[in-house]
Structure 1
Amino acid sequence: MTHLTEQEEAFMQNHFRYLSKATNEESLEIIYGSELLTKQGLQEKLDEIHAFMESQFFLTTASIFSKRYSYYIVTGIIAMMSSFNKCPDFRPENIRLVRMDEDKKWFPKLNFVSKEATVPDPFDRQRWLRENLTELFKEHVRPLFLHINQLSRLSMNVLWENFAIYLFWFYERYAKEHFTEEQLAQVYDDFHFIVHELDGASFGEEKNPFHYFHYQPKLPSGARERKCCCLSYKLNEESGYCKVCPHRC
């Protein structure tokens, strides 16, 4: 067991929506991961977010929430595993989403209560990857997605693709702009492992959901065209289609 260093947290804070220290005086809203463990708790938070965003469509609220949460898991957990060989404590009770502004698009920042993290055995890194990712996807992400699905009827395909777009963004577009060749070798190995070597059981699904979306065509920007619409265009009258929306491409 080790801890995230100040330098690692500074990297996260400078590059992603991460907050190293959260104080009640500065925050406008704090959502604790433990509040999302039950359908009732999640329903209450979705209702609050729905009202804050002035959303006109609850299905869209649910989809946007899942996109935000997926972003935090990718950048706060998975990216740290590939970048620094550390897996932060991702138990729901260790996660806080801290809103610092009144932006109606709702972009809180991720904060870890404890900075503890695990590191791999230097001779068996793949086992560390598999065990942590299986726990992350099967015991953390999927149960949350199931609650969202049951409360909003947003399909599991949309939910998993909401996660996949950030996973692909980090590994296929972001990483090559910010890491050395030596670092990229491990980053790309991890990406291949996540998409092609983890089986469905690691997700609590019949098949690996990311493998399904990995064959979507790439746009000139390098982003992958979505297979399913995330419904963000229905947030309000001023909303439009995402740049990777299948209705737009």
Structure 2
Amino acid sequence: MMNNAMDTWLEPEELEVLTAEYRLSLNPLAADSAFCIPFADLLNQEKCQHYLRRVGDIFETTSETATVSLFAKRYAYLVVASGLYAMSLFNKGLNVTLENGWIESSYQGEVWLPKARLLNTRISMPQAGLRKEWRDQIIQQMFAGNLSRVWNALSKTAKISKSVLWENTAIYVYWLYEKKYVEGASFEQRKQFEEDYHYLLHDAPAHLFGESRNPLQQFNSPKTTTSESDTPIRVRKTCCYYYLVSDEPNDYCSTCPKRGH
């Protein structure tokens, strides 16, 4: 149990939301384990490269750079989506440490959407008056203790910039708090989402992310209209390399800096 926190469990209705909407899993895959791997094995270069070769087949690309970037999008989502939602809405902290998780996945020719399976399902709640301290510990465990370590390993394995991997992470955090989480939320729930989101973007110190700068703040560009979008969008600072796996030439994402906007 972490400092400033009490041990508890998820309620059935809370667990149902996290498993149905945010790709949390508590059960191992019964069969077809080709795309299942412990989180911690991503730090092992040999095991990680073997896994990424299989993932590259899903994306139908031989580009290691594109494979790692597209994989990182999915890994970032399955780590942060359920964890931040539980933190902000339920006031509960999932144990998303590297040692406590598996990527659970099968693939039958559709969109590849892996899930995160947690081994230890006990969770934490802040003690009275200590939510800010508890929140820091949840953020640090999720980002510095998991994503930063995996991004460091992947950037060395595939010679890809960590900036790409962190921006892949950031765009999901922006979307989750700005769009997904607030769907159907009450006024009080929205207030908590907004408070935590503001903290993540503007006040959370860099060490909670295991970096010299807060990456969520670093990539939080002002939204702007473009020649292709009347709705203001946040143009990326890095390219995610999706165009390398597209069937269309120069098929850049709508927010890609390569478009020129």
Distance between the aligned counterparts of 1:26 and 1:59, measured in 2? 26
Out of 125, 128, 133, which is 1:122 matched to? 128
Distance between the aligned counterparts of 2:12 and 2:255, measured in 1? 35
* Percent identity between the two aligned chains: 28
Alpha-carbon contact 1:56-1:234 (below 8 Å) kept: no
Alpha-carbon contact 1:36-1:144 (below 8 Å) kept: yes
- Is structure 2 residue 80 aligned with structure 1 residue 74? yes
Distance between the aligned counterparts of 1:40 and 1:100, measured in 2? 21
Alpha-carbon contact 1:52-1:104 (below 8 Å) kept: no
Alignment partner, residue 218 of structure 2: 212
Alignment partner, residue 20 of structure 2: 14
What SS is found at the alignment partner of 2:134? helix
Letter in 2 for 1:247: K
Letter in 2 for 1:193: Y
Could you report, residue by residue, the CA deviation over 1:68-105 in whole angstroms, capped at 9, with x for unpaired residues?
11111221212211111111111223212222332365
Out of 83, 90, 95, which is 2:89 matched to? 83
Q: 1:144-223 alignment to 2 at 5 Å?
A: 144-218=150-224, 223=233
Distance between the aligned counterparts of 2:78 and 2:160, measured in 1? 20
Alpha-carbon contact 2:93-2:124 (below 8 Å) kept: yes
Alignment partner, residue 227 of structure 1: 237
The RMSD of aligned alpha carbons is: 2.2
Cα displacement (A) at 1:51: 2.8
Alignment partner, residue 3 of structure 2: none
Letter in 1 for 2:200: I
Cα displacement (A) at 1:235: 1.6
Distance between the aligned counterparts of 1:10 and 1:59, measured in 2? 35
Which deviates more from structure 2 when the two are superposed, residues 16-25 or residues 42-51?
Answer: 16-25
What is the count of residue pairs matched by the alignment?
A: 249
Alignment partner, residue 105 of structure 2: 99
Distance 1:227 1:175, change over 3 A: same
Cα displacement (A) at 1:31: 1.8
Letter in 1 for 2:247: E
Alignment partner, residue 254 of structure 2: 243
Letter in 1 for 2:70: I
Cα displacement (A) at 1:172: 1.1
Distance between the aligned counterparts of 2:193 and 2:217, measured in 1? 17
What SS is found at the alignment partner of 1:88? coil
Which deviates more from structure 2 when the two are superposed, residues 41-50 or residues 226-235?
Answer: 41-50
What SS is found at the alignment partner of 1:176? coil
Letter in 1 for 2:12: E
Cα displacement (A) at 1:224: 2.2
Cα displacement (A) at 1:33: 1.3
Alpha-carbon contact 2:106-2:114 (below 8 Å) kept: yes
Cα displacement (A) at 1:106: 2.6
Unaligned 5+ runs, structure 2: 1-6
What SS is found at the alignment partner of 1:96? strand
What SS is found at the alignment partner of 2:247? coil
Alpha-carbon contact 1:82-1:190 (below 8 Å) kept: yes
Distance 1:103 1:6, change over 3 A: farther
Cα displacement (A) at 1:194: 1.1
What SS is found at the alignment partner of 1:119? strand
Letter in 2 for 1:113: L
- Is structure 2 residue 124 aligned with structure 1 residue 113? no
Distance between the aligned counterparts of 2:200 and 2:247, measured in 1? 38
Cα displacement (A) at 1:126: 0.5
Unaligned 5+ runs, structure 1: none
Alpha-carbon contact 2:151-2:162 (below 8 Å) kept: yes
Distance between the aligned counterparts of 2:87 and 2:162, measured in 1? 25
Cα displacement (A) at 1:189: 0.5
Distance between the aligned counterparts of 1:150 and 1:26, measured in 2? 29
